[in-house]
Structure 1
Amino acid sequence: MTIRNTFLQQCNRFRFFVRILVLLVLSVSLTGCARTQSTHKEIKIGVCAYDQYDTFLTQLIDCFDENVEDGVSVEYAYASQSQITQNEQVRKMIEKGVDVLCVNLVDRTAPNTIIDLGKKNDVPIIFFNRELVEEDITQWPKLYYVGADAFESGIMQGELAANMIRRESLNADKNGDGKIQYVVLEGEAGHQDSIVRTEYSVKTLVDEGIDVDKVGYAIANWNRAQAQTKMAQLIERNDEAIELVLANNDDMALGAVDAYNSAKISAVDRPIIIGIDGTDVGLEAVVNKTIAGTIYNDKEGQAKAMYDLSILLAREEPLNSLGMEDGRYIRLPYQKVDASNVLQFIHK
């Protein structure tokens, strides 16, 4: 009896220790699960863009979407060029509980409603592609900008044009008067990128020693169809005297090509046409030699920077790894593209 009792007592103790061990393992597992859930809670990002028909912007947002990982949800909204609509879209996204907002402003001079909504609800805002003025971005510490330096794109377009004119001096100066007659297709009235790209492309041409003569100018609102219409008018007015077309973006450069196609002017008699942005259709046009070149706006780099910044802000983690200017700005560099290097950008 004694041996049997002793054996039973030992079995009971063993069972007791096993139960305790199981409870401890379960407790650790549950704690770990809770900790994992809290660390990897779903992040909600709202992305608001000024219009759904802007080629570069559409491709940038596609690149952003390619970065999205498990545990992150993104809601997209397009304002159809209405600031009032965009303000309402931002308000609804905040009500749905987004952690971060990425906003491509309709009107870069009218961000106050959106800033106030973000500030009131403590939702950080990353403005992208359309840079608001410095006085506005300093209204609240949780305002940021991702994009590029518009001055750089204008300067590079001017440099690229100057190099092409020098390289093809006889073909470039078709009328042999020692000057390059040029027209500008400008993006949007009052838009910073339009103003800067126009001013600095021409200024750089002059600084590079190219004697120029402005024979036309038109605002085409970044739009290919509008650019075709405006360019057709410029061709008719100048009787084929145009030797250079500086377009603020690729879509307008391609609109100029469409106008020359419609006018049935041969490739030999056409001017040098240069765009900006390096969109897929723009790069294809460089390959096909329908435009001479473009300035690559790094949509992949901007999308990645915007996504990484969104995640860090949502998790309230340090931003040191992003290399920001003044703690607010991320700007990716432009690059010149012509027939000699276009394939590396297409493969990108």
Structure 2
Amino acid sequence: MKKKTERIYRTIGVFTTAAIVFSGCGTGQSRKEQDGKNLKIGISVYDQYDTFVSELVSNFQDYAKTREKDWGISITMDVENANKSQMIQNDQMDDFIKDGMDVVCINLVDRTDASTIIEKAQASDVPVIFFNRELVQEDLERWDKLYYVGADAFESGELQGDILVEKCKKDFNRIDKNGDGVLQYIMLEGEAGHNDSMVRTMSVINEITGSGYLVEKLSDEIANWNRDQAANKMKQFLERFGNRIEVVLANNDDMALGAVDALEAAGYDPDSQDWPMVLGIDGTTVGLNAVNDGKMLGTVLNDAAGQADGMLELARSITAGTKLPEEYELQDGKYIRMPYRIVTQENLGEIQMLLMKK
């Protein structure tokens, strides 16, 4: 018997009556028969506890409510949690197909193992929008109804490096606590083999050293994008290196915040000279709060709202043949990539105002 997958929540479109929506779901009504009046979207996330992914899905739901009125249709969403299991996610694809989804949005558990989902989608003629966790390019090119919405991981690492470089230009002595002219750092990485993790780890260091600064890696550890895991790793770093740590580079905000948790638990004060420069990536709400409080030097905004809106616009374009808005240009007929933005205390207010308008 197929293992029951974990459902996060189900959102039923409210523009039309519930009776019409349930009629479409219960009879296995085909996409062609629905004639564009009801857009059914299946969404599977690799882990519902990932802060960035959770915010992206929340934005997607909010935009769907607005678009129902703008487009005059009902939008039905089924959001599932794969619980970090590719096998569960593959089974969820079967459920989406059986339930007659018009398009499926997949946040891959394993970016190198998309074949099963692609084969199921192609056999049933169900378009797939992969998002946030970029699959291998060769897989995306296997069928003309496969797409990816996300951002350029290389750019995020570069911008994270730029934040530290600008701080070095203004106050190098504040960072270089031991006065040796070298930045001693530790790295908190996402998953082993994950594209964003590898690229961010490489590009941030290339940006710092390319700007003329010397660095020394004290240690690095994989913390799987997870705040608690990062806190445990940081505790070990502090026990081993103590005040030698001048910079903490984390592949995402959750891991940066895990480092902050460990620093605070060890009695470090964000206002003291002993507090290292902590940098994240994603621009989550909790990450922005930490920047505001001076606990993080900065983060790089990964536009969750823009990606969510781009996914929804793409889903509509695929199923109804509508033209995509200019801001969501489809690159190579496959990709929508949203730009990153640096966030520090200096421009935090501007960024927050921008996010409020979305």
TM over 0.5: yes
Structure 1 residues 316 and 121: CA distance shift in structure 2, 3 A: farther
For 1:26-41, what aligned pairs fall within 5 Å after superposition?
Answer: 39-41=35-37
3-state SS, counterpart of residue 126 of structure 2? coil
Rg: which structure is higher?
1
CA shift, 1:300, in A, is 0.8
Q: Could you say which residue in structure 1 is the equivalent of 2:106? A: 103
CA shift, 1:159, in A, is 1.0
3-state SS, counterpart of residue 216 of structure 1? strand
Q: Could you say which residue in structure 2 is the equivalent of 1:47? A: 43
Matched to 1:282, the amino acid is G
Q: Could you say which residue in structure 2 is the equivalent of 1:346? A: 352
Alignment size in residue pairs: 312
CA shift, 1:41, in A, is 2.1
Q: Could you say which residue in structure 2 is the equivalent of 1:212? A: 215
Matched to 2:336, the amino acid is I
| Equivalent residue in structure 2 for 1:89, among 76, 89, 92 | 92
Q: Could you say which residue in structure 1 is the equivalent of 2:131? A: 128
Matched to 1:45, the amino acid is I
| Ranges of 4+ aligned residues in structure 1 off by more than 3 Å | 37-40, 316-322
Q: Could you say which residue in structure 2 is the equivalent of 1:159? A: 162
Deviations 1:235-293 (A, max 9, x none): 11112200001100001111101111111123311110010000000001111111110
Q: TM-score, normalised by structure 2?
A: 0.85
CA shift, 1:297, in A, is 0.4
Q: TM-score, normalised by structure 1?
A: 0.87
Is residue 277 of structure 2 the alignment partner of residue 272 of structure 1?
yes
Q: Could you say which residue in structure 1 is the equivalent of 2:74? A: 71
Matched to 2:38, the amino acid is E
Q: Could you say which residue in structure 2 is the equivalent of 1:301? A: 306
Mapped contact 1:63–1:300 kept (Cα < 8 A): yes
Mapped contact 1:99–1:124 kept (Cα < 8 A): yes
3-state SS, counterpart of residue 168 of structure 1? helix
Mapped contact 2:36–2:320 kept (Cα < 8 A): no
For 1:323-334, what aligned pairs fall within 5 Å after superposition?
Answer: 323-334=329-340
Structure 1 residues 182 and 110: CA distance shift in structure 2, 3 A: same
Mapped contact 1:280–1:346 kept (Cα < 8 A): no
Deviations 1:198-255 (A, max 9, x none): 0000111000111111111111000111000000101111122000011000011111
3-state SS, counterpart of residue 167 of structure 1? helix
* 1: CA distance, partners of 2:148 / 2:34: 29
Q: CA RMSD in A?
A: 1.3
Mapped contact 1:40–1:71 kept (Cα < 8 A): no
Matched to 2:285, the amino acid is D
* 1: CA distance, partners of 2:34 / 2:254: 46
* 2: CA distance, partners of 1:240 / 1:157: 22
* 1: CA distance, partners of 2:269 / 2:118: 51
Q: Could you say which residue in structure 2 is the equivalent of 1:200? A: 203
* 1: CA distance, partners of 2:211 / 2:167: 12
Matched to 1:156, the amino acid is L
Deviations 1:97-153 (A, max 9, x none): 000000000000000000001100000000000111111000000000000000000
CA shift, 1:164, in A, is 1.0
Mapped contact 1:100–1:124 kept (Cα < 8 A): yes
Q: Could you say which residue in structure 2 is the equivalent of 1:118? A: 121
3-state SS, counterpart of residue 119 of structure 2? helix
* 2: CA distance, partners of 1:319 / 1:81: 32
Q: Could you say which residue in structure 1 is the equivalent of 2:256? A: 253
Matched to 1:302, the amino acid is Q
Compare the two structures and name the one with the higher helix fraction.
1
CA shift, 1:75, in A, is 0.6
3-state SS, counterpart of residue 239 of structure 1? helix
Q: Could you say which residue in structure 1 is the equivalent of 2:28? A: none
Structure 2, unmatched stretches of 5+, are 1-32
3-state SS, counterpart of residue 145 of structure 1? strand
Matched to 1:266, the amino acid is D
Mapped contact 2:313–2:324 kept (Cα < 8 A): no
3-state SS, counterpart of residue 345 of structure 1? helix
CA shift, 1:72, in A, is 1.0
Structure 1, unmatched stretches of 5+, are 1-36
CA shift, 1:166, in A, is 2.1
CA shift, 1:343, in A, is 1.6
* 2: CA distance, partners of 1:289 / 1:206: 25
Structure 1 residues 40 and 239: CA distance shift in structure 2, 3 A: closer
CA shift, 1:344, in A, is 2.2
Q: Could you say which residue in structure 1 is the equivalent of 2:342? A: 336
